[in-house]
Every structure is written in structure tokens, then in C-alpha cells.
Amino acid sequence: MYINLDFPIKTQMFGFVRQKHGQWHHGRTLSYSSILYVTEGLLHMEIGDHVYKAVPEDCLFIPPNTRYRPVNPEGCAYYFFHFTAQTLQTANQTSNIQVLRNTNLPDGEYAYCYTEENEPIIELPDHISCIGVLNIKDVLKRASACNIWRNYSEKFLLDCYLREFLIQLCRIYQKSTVTDKQLYKILAFIHMHLKENLSLSSLSAHSGLSQSYIARLFKKNLQLRPSDYVNQTRLSFACMLLSNSDMHIGEISDCCGYHSPYYFTRLFKKFYGISPRQFRCGNIHMQI
């Protein structure tokens, strides 16, 4: 999908929601576009004729007048924008910007002149991973701070953040490399198979990459060992289940791939400083 930046981009609705277990609606069709950014859990969404499986830090784009519905039983949390913009199915021409620099200025001073021959069009994929991209989280944080009930200038600011958000997604898509895609496939596999064995050897067998190469991928891009990422992901999912379901601790432990509730409880307490039961009973909200 393509968006023409020469036309206004206006937010119709923005928010952050947590969905509990179960299908929370049976399908909708909106006259405007939507984009979802997953923060917790797994989001399986049928959009048109395709089913997309989004993990945390994934974005899904829903074109206008396209039916979509959740198809997964798990819980999840996500930011969402509903917005209007001029969208195109195809774009034969994209921006061709010429940059001229004034070379007559002294050192330390500069001036650029931009000329644009074609329409400023950005491309958005249906599904994109933003794992490790701090710019995306920063835009969402600033958008969340907008008090649009205070005055209308806040709404203008929110529209600007949405525009920046879409541009950042386009930049991520344009910069995607083979290495990015390799890492994304491994991370998606981890999120989809939390109950299974996720040792380094199993990740290697699934991806066809060597264990040492996978370890380097994680260290370079996430500054984590694969086992640390697996535990963080499992425990984050456990927090969501504790907050949004009535499942017993043993059931949650099993869902998260820990077949010993005692080990799960000990690891949870080591990671968060409190037990799973204290987390649930105290209704404590953490940044996970």
C-alpha cells in the first residue's frame, strides 16, 4: 500500500488496548485505514484474504474498506491508529528529490535547496517487524502524551506524530536487509512456539543457521543471549496472562514453556522481584 504525503493524514482514533483471551469481535470493515503495533502477546489477524501472525514490535496495516477480524485465542496488547489518507494500490513513480547545497558558505554553515519532481509517496507493507527500533517507540510515547481534549492544537500534533510514525515505518521497510529478515524469522518462531523447546540447537535446526551465527545475531542486534530473550518473552507473556485471565499458575507456567511451576515461580521472582501470585493479587502494573 502507498500513501501520498501531499494530502492530509488525519487521525480518527488513537489508543492502546489489551485484549483478553478469546475473539473480541467477529469482523469489521472501516472506511478509513488502520495500523496496529503489537506490544505484548500474539495477534493473529485476518485481513482480507490473508491471516497475519504479529508478535511484539510488529506492525499490521489494514487498508480502508477491508474486512478484518482477530482469529487467535491468545491475549495481546497493541497501539492502534485509525486514520484517513490518500492511499494507492500501486505507485509507478515515487519521490525523486534533488538536493543542492550552497558551497559558498563558510565552514560550519550550510544551506540546502530541495526540488521534488514527482509526488511524495511512501510505501507501507502489510506486515513489518520493528524489533529494536527505538524511533518507533519514541513516536508512540509522544503520541500517548497528547491531551487532545485540552485543545485542538494537540490534535494537530497527534496527526504530525502519525505522519512521522508512517514515515519511520517506510524507512524501516526500505532499510530491511537479509540479516534483519533472518533475525525476525527466529524471533517470530520464538513467539509462536513459547510452549516448545527453544534451545539454541532447536533455533538452529529451525532456521538452518549455525548456533554461533544466531548467538552473534542476538548479541549485535538485541544485546542479549538467545536464552535471555526467550525467558524475557515467556515471562512477559506470563504477566499478560496473570493480568487478563483466570488461569491457574500451573496452567500459565505450562503455556509459557515452563513445565515446572516451581521453576517458573522462582524465575519470575528473580526477574520481577515478586511472585506470580503477588503480581496478580496486587494488580501491579509493570513496564514489560
Question: pLDDT, tens digit, for every residue of 81-130?
Answer: 999 999 887 766 555 667 788 888 888 898 888 876 677 888 888 899 88
Strand order in the sheet with 121-123: 87-88, 2-4, 121-123
Cell of 41: 502477546
Band of pLDDT at residue 284, cut at 50, 70 and 90: very low
Cα 64 from Cα 88, distance rounded (Å): 11
Counting Cα atoms < 13 Å in the Cβ hemisphere of 18 gives: 12
**What's the distance, CA 197 to chain centroid?**
25
Cell of 115: 526540488
CB atoms within 10 A of CB 189: 16
Domain ranges across the chain:
2-92+121-175, 178-281
Contact 2, 124 (CB under 8 A): yes
Residue 201: φ, ψ to 5°: -65, -35
CB atoms within 10 A of CB 103: 7
User: How many residues can be counted in the chain?
Assistant: 288
- Does position 225 have pLDDT exceeding 70, yes or no? yes
Query: Grid cell 487532545 — which residue?
Result: 148
Please provide the average confidence, as pLDDT, over all residues in the chain: 87
Contact 232, 270 (CB under 8 A): no
The pLDDT value recorded for residue 15 is 95
Cα 288 from Cα 272, distance rounded (Å): 10
Helical pair 152-175 and 134-144, crossing angle rounded to 10 deg = 170
The pLDDT value recorded for residue 287 is 40
Which own/partner pairs from 142-146 qualify as long-range (CB within 8 Å, at least 24 positions apart)? 143/14, 143/79, 144/16, 144/79
**What's the distance, CA 177 to chain centroid?**
18
Band of pLDDT at residue 228, cut at 50, 70 and 90: very high
Cα 76 from Cα 78, distance rounded (Å): 7
**Short-list 154, 193, 12, 170, CA closest to 85:** 12
Residue 92: exposure state from Cβ atoms within 10 A (0-12, 13-18, ≥19): exposed
Counting Cα atoms < 13 Å in the Cβ hemisphere of 121 gives: 17
The pLDDT value recorded for residue 231 is 94
The pLDDT value recorded for residue 93 is 57
CB atoms within 10 A of CB 266: 13
The CATH T-level fold of domain 2-92+121-175 is Jelly Rolls (2.60.120)
Question: Could you give the percent of the chain with pLDDT greater than 90?
Answer: 47
- Does position 214 have pLDDT exceeding 90, yes or no? yes
- Does position 43 have pLDDT exceeding 90, yes or no? no
Cell of 130: 520493528
Cα 89 from Cα 93, distance rounded (Å): 12
- Among 4-8, 175-179, 247-251, 275-279, name the one with the lowest average pLDDT: 175-179
Most trustworthy range by pLDDT among 64-73, 182-191, 250-259, 274-283:
250-259
Most trustworthy range by pLDDT among 95-99, 114-118, 142-146, 184-188:
142-146
- Does position 224 have pLDDT exceeding 60, yes or no? yes
- Same topology between domain 2-92+121-175 and domain 178-281: no
Query: Grid cell 550552497 — which residue?
Result: 102
CATH code for the structural domain at 178-281: 1.10.10.60
Task: Find all residues with CB under 8 Å of 120, minimum gap 6, and list them.
Answer: 4, 5, 6, 95
The pLDDT value recorded for residue 95 is 56
Most trustworthy range by pLDDT among 1-5, 50-54, 60-64, 148-152:
60-64
The pLDDT value recorded for residue 141 is 94
